[in-house]
Amino acid sequence: MDVVKSVYDIFSERGFIEQVTDEELVKDLLARESVTCYIGFDPTATSLHIGSLVPIMALSHMQRAGHKPIALVGGGTALIGDPSGKTAMRQILTRDEIDRNAESLRMQLSRYIDFEDNKALLLNNADWLAGLNYIEFLRDVGRHFSVNRMLAAESYRIRMETGLNFIEFNYMLLQSYDFSYLCKHHDCAIQMGGNDQWGNIVAGVDLTRRLEGKRVYGITFPLLVTSQGHKMGKTEKGTVWLDPDLTTPYEYFQYWINTEDDDVERFLALFTYLPVEEIGAVTKLADSEINMAKAVLAFETTKITHGEDEAIGAWKASVGAFNLRPVSSNLFPSSSIPRHEILQDVSAITTYEKTMKEVETVSIATLLHEVELCASRGEARRLITQGGAYINGRQITSIDYKIGVDDLDENREISLRKGKKKYTRIKVV
């Protein structure tokens, strides 16, 4: 088979697809011509996080296959917010905030998608939603929606039990309108999104047919949870962001290398560009050998999000801190992960600069708190009591421990560790 793979094949072999509105037609369309497709993103935060990575990678694959992705910022819906105040899920944002978030969104997405020369678009639905006239909207759009059918949608059925306000109920109409608008003005033919968007996407397909007389399609991705059933991208320190100022590349790397065994293969397919043939080798890895695959996963994902230099830095720090074994040369030949032994270089680990006085005069618990290893001094004290605090690899046995010059290494640095995995360094200046 030397037929070029279509992006649909790529999606399907990499596990991107949960549901498709019309598999045969979508397959055919994507194999035949360059298609414009879109995914919506919430502009409620200044940074995207790991939870958005599947949609982002999907858009990226689309573009690589010669299609045209549109990243749609949901500025219009953010303008409405959720007035009940009970759920914090939709914050009301001002136009300024939305525009600012949209801009940082563009910068982040630029790592994965090329927006040059209109090869991809970043649009904001506030541009067409904000000026909508209610009467006209009801007449032109609202009349196409059957409340009975809406209530049958999975997403609403669930909310019927806990309560659903009118604004939320309207998101389906607005999102459907987005789709038909993008179809009309940008010739957009496919909407993609998490499987929770299925109802909204299908509604948009229907509306577009009625409004524009055009046939459009929808694809949903599986909602990712780890094999433990945990939500993706949450750690002790909170969300794993894509912004290096919020989550350092080292922490990002660490998040991925800590992936559970059962998720490694799936994640390699979803979050890296490595060929599926190479990824399949994961299943043959015995016992701890799978850690090599995790290293590759961590390296490749970090490289995609933060660049190769940062990925190498994070990898080196990881090697230094955890005695990571080099990845065998026969594994993942497409990966650019370094495979040689290296000198210890932990500079990618977060380092705090402090004066000798600042270090000597405070209690060790305070210090652990100050370098954000512990959320409070109380937690730090507990940690020490339970034997989970280490200084330069030595367990701290007393909460009265005081740091002195003897704790400095030749670079005037101190290594602090919480448990087995959380490292921080202090540079005494």
Contact residues: RNA, CB under 7 A: 84-86, 160, 162-165, 228, 230, 235-236, 254, 257-261, 287-288, 290-291, 294-295, 318-319, 321-324, 363, 366, 369, 375-379, 382-383, 386-388, 418-422
Nearest of 328, 337, 345 to residue 257 by alpha carbon: 337
| Cβ nearer to RNA, comparing 3 with 160 | 160
Give, in degrees to the nearest 5, the angle at Cα 389 between 386 and 395. 95
**Shortest Å distance, C-beta 181 to RNA:** 30
Which CB atom, from 14 or from 369, has the smaller least distance to RNA? 369
Written as six digits, the tokens of 278 are: 């190479």
Q: How far apart are CA 346 and CA 343, in angstroms?
A: 10
- Distance of closest approach, residue 299 Cβ to RNA, in angstroms: 10
Nearer to RNA, 110 or 376 (CB): 376
Contacts 24+ apart (CB under 8 A), 23-31: 25/215, 25/217, 26/190, 26/217, 26/219, 29/189, 29/190, 29/217, 30/6, 30/65, 30/67, 31/6
From the CB of 428, what's the least distance to RNA, in Å? 21
Least distance from RNA to the Cβ atom of residue 267, Å:
12
25 vs 375 by CB, closer to RNA: 375
DSSP character for 407? G
C-beta closer to RNA: residue 118 or 398: 398
Q: Could you tell me the smallest distance in angstroms from the CB atom of residue 176 to RNA?
A: 23
Shortest reach from residue 88's CB to RNA, in Å? 9
Q: Which is nearer to RNA, 232 or 276 (CB)?
A: 232
Instruction: Give the whole-angstrom CA distance, residue 166 versus residue 82.
Output: 10
N residues, the chain: 429
Work out the end-to-end distance of the chain between its first and last CA atoms, rounded to an integer number of angstroms.
63
Is residue 16 within 8 Å of 270, Cβ to Cβ? yes
d(CA 105, CA 43): 8
